Amino acid sequence: MYGKAFAPEYQGALTTLSVNSSLTDVLAAGTEELRAAERAGRHGEAARSGLAVAEAHRRLGRIGEADHAWKASYRAARRAGDTAAMAWALWSGGTLARQRGEFALARRLLQLAADLGERGGDVVVRGYSLAGLAETGRIQGDYAAVTRLHEQLLAEARRRGEARHTVWALEGIAQIHRNTGAYDTAYALFEEAAGIAARADDRRGHAWALRGLADIVSVRDKDTARALALLSEAETICRAMKLSGALAYNHKMRGNVLYRAGRYAEARGLYEQALAGFRAMSEPRGEALARLGLVKSRARLGRDSTETQAELAELAGTLERIGLKHAREMVARAQEELGVEVVR
């Protein structure tokens, strides 16, 4: 049985914030508490309110501000001698590094966070940090290396009855199955995640699960109308909570659905919208995926094949540098689909 979802990154005076609080509200409350703590010289409280500030900035796509905030949170935690708060700050920094496509740094910070969480006796930050490591590997396409860790974390979350983390793990495992072609298994896992998230009032987790379901419904069932309806439901959540990154990925998925339905001009518009969103928040993985969709749409709409070939070659190099194995394979499939050769 799962209880109501909560946000463990909202700490200290901010524990009253809901997992569904809009990010602008979180930022305002966190900034106010941070300034008060700094004025009073309460380093521990500054570290914990600073964590909420860092996470709000990160999820709003304000990369520079997020980077400054998590580092300030870590320094305050170190001054306070609060090992668990240091771990949370490192978790935030590692998550930001992954968002920026800096995967080696992300792994380093997240491993440090997991180690400090264990040393500080905070099982939640340890779990979140290990989850971050698992997600980093999954995003890079190292499925064999991280599937077992995802399943281990799912078992731990189920045992503790922690809805939000259970939903995250289910969605991660579902994505691996989706990317390896096991659509029925992926659908069942996304469906379970959506149900748990809805009952636990985890709106962010619910939005991501709806996006996953829309993808399967589109690729497996060819049901464009239902897929778009699921994405519209998820988009409403993203806009209400000011989830910039999730909204950009929603637009990118809507582009995918329209592209599969042969509605290339509409898909192009959605990919352009997603690309602008990813660029605004310095999200290289999302940017590369949106660019790939845009290249394919433009090719279908009659773009010169030489230009398509050149852009795919450049995109392949970008993905190679970022270290996105699965996305790099997607470029190869696009090359085959469009009948162009990627020059190396």
Model confidence at 341: pLDDT above 70:
no
pLDDT at 329: 82
Model confidence at 141: pLDDT above 90:
no
pLDDT at 316: 87
Model confidence at 342: pLDDT above 60:
no
What is the average pLDDT across 54-63? 93
Distance CA 48, CA 30 (A): 9
Q: pLDDT digit string (tens) for 201-260?
A: 999 999 999 999 999 999 999 999 999 999 999 999 999 998 888 999 999 999 999 999
Sign of the four-CA dihedral 27, 32, 38, 40:
negative
Q: Which of 30, 38, 86, 84 is nearest to 59 (CA)?
A: 30
330 or 92, higher pLDDT: 92
pLDDT at 144: 85
pTM for the whole structure: 0.90
Q: pLDDT digit string (tens) for 60-102?
A: 889 999 999 999 999 999 999 999 999 999 999 999 999 998 9
Torsion angle (degrees, nearest 10) of CA 25, 55, 236, 150: -150
One-letter amino acid for residue 44 of the chain: G
